[in-house]
């Protein structure tokens, strides 16, 4: 009933919020989705968004004027980055920076379309002299988490914060007393609620109705900001970056 009466609100619910509003269990919500022929709750939200969302600025791009369309895209993306960086909780961010600096090893994990952000984070952390690892294979990522020690930390990146694989990693890390940092669009997302520290990213504009909140730009901008903040904390890290650049210089013409 609630899905039919309030589809716009359900798009922004977590599975636990919908279960609570409907007076059922989370498992009942999952069964409801399966009965509709959907893979799960996330696919239900995508379907609802496709039907009910109003066109955004990016779904109404100027078709015959590329210059005007580019200005529309630039304005939208600038807003997305600005909303991400301006809303960061300063105290939480400081704790995350402290954690990264003091960790023996930082595992960065993401799935699907967001994984390139994790790779970028690993590259930047290692350039700074902070040992970091990742893997595009969920099975390998779990094995890496299984081998983390108390002096390590886990950094999870997910737009929705509803990735079952990343939630499993967070549970495993917490069981092993390993600190967890998450980056998601919502502070009440399942992944954020399982984290010791959460850094919010702004929801991007809709480009395709199937991709109503999946822009990598906000996460990438936040990774870049963390890189610059860590560099600013210790200017000696610039020497690490220069040494790395010198080692790979012969790969460029």
Calpha distance 77→246 (Å, rounded): 33
- The pLDDT of residue 100 is 98
155 within 8 A of 144, measured Cβ to Cβ: no
Average pLDDT of every residue of the chain: 86
Q: Could you tell me where the beta strands, DSSP code E, fall in the chain? A: 106-109, 132-133, 153-157, 179-184, 197-200
- The pLDDT of residue 27 is 83
Give this prediction's pTM.
0.76
- The pLDDT of residue 55 is 45
Q: Is the Cα torsion angle 217, 70, 60, 56 positive or negative in sign?
A: positive
Mean pLDDT value across residues 132-148: 97
Mean pLDDT value across residues 54-59: 48
Give 16's pLDDT tier (boundaries 50, 70, 90). confident
Q: Where are the domains of the chain?
A: 2-52, 70-251
Range of 46-50, 58-62, 184-188 with top mean pLDDT:
184-188
Q: Which residues of 84-96 are buried (b: 16+ CB within 10 A; e: fewer)?
A: beeebeeeebeeb
How is domain 70-251 classified at the architecture level of CATH? 3-Layer(aba) Sandwich (3.40)
131 within 8 A of 104, measured Cβ to Cβ: yes
- The pLDDT of residue 48 is 67
Cβ-proximal residues to 191 (8 Å cutoff; 6+ apart), any chain: 156, 158, 161, 162, 163, 166, 167, 170, 182, 184
Residue 124: pLDDT above 90?
Answer: yes
- Report CA dihedral (118, 120, 122, 125) to the nearest 10 degrees: -130
Mean pLDDT value across residues 138-146: 97
Residue 128: pLDDT above 90?
Answer: yes
| Residue bearing the bigger pLDDT, 28 or 197 | 197
- The pLDDT of residue 208 is 43
118 within 8 A of 143, measured Cβ to Cβ: no
Tens digits of residue pLDDT in 200-252: 998 765 544 444 445 688 999 999 999 999 999 999 999 999 999 999 888 77
Task: Tell me which of 32-41, 90-99, 170-179, 185-194 is least confident.
Answer: 32-41
Tens digits of residue pLDDT in 166-180: 999 999 999 999 999
Tens digits of residue pLDDT in 62-114: 667 888 888 877 887 888 888 889 989 999 999 999 999 999 999 999 998 89
């Amino acid at each position: 009933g609630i899905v039919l009466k309030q589809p716009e609100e359900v798009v922004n619910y977590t599975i636990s919020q919908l279960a609570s509003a409907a007076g059922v269990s989370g498992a009942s919500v999952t069964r409801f989705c399966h009965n509709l022929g959907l893979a799960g709750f996330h696919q239900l939200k995508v379907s609802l968004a496709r039907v009910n969302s109003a066109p955004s600025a990016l779904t109404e791009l100027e078709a015959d004027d590329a210059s005007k369309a580019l200005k529309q895209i630039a304005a939208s993306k600038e807003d997305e980055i600005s909303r991400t960086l301006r809303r960061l909780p300063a105290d939480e961010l400081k704790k995350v920076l402290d954690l990264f600096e003091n960790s023996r090893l930082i595992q960065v994990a993401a799935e699907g379309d967001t994984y390139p952000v994790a790779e970028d984070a690993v590259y930047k952390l290692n350039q700074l002299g902070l040992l970091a690892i990742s893997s595009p294979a969920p099975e390998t990522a779990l094995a890496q988490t299984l081998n983390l020690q108390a002096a390590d930390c886990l950094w999870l990146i997910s737009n929705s914060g509803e990735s079952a694989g990343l939630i499993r990693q967070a549970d495993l890390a917490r069981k092993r007393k390993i600190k967890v940092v998450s980056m998601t669009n919502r502070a009440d997302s399942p992944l954020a609620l399982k984290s010791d520290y959460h850094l919010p990213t702004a929801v991007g504009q809709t480009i395709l109705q199937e991709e109503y909140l999946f822009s990598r730009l906000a996460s990438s901008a936040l990774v870049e900001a963390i890189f610059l903040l860590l560099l600013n904390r210790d200017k000696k890290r610039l020497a690490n970056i220069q040494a790395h650049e010198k080692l790979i210089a012969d790969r460029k013409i």
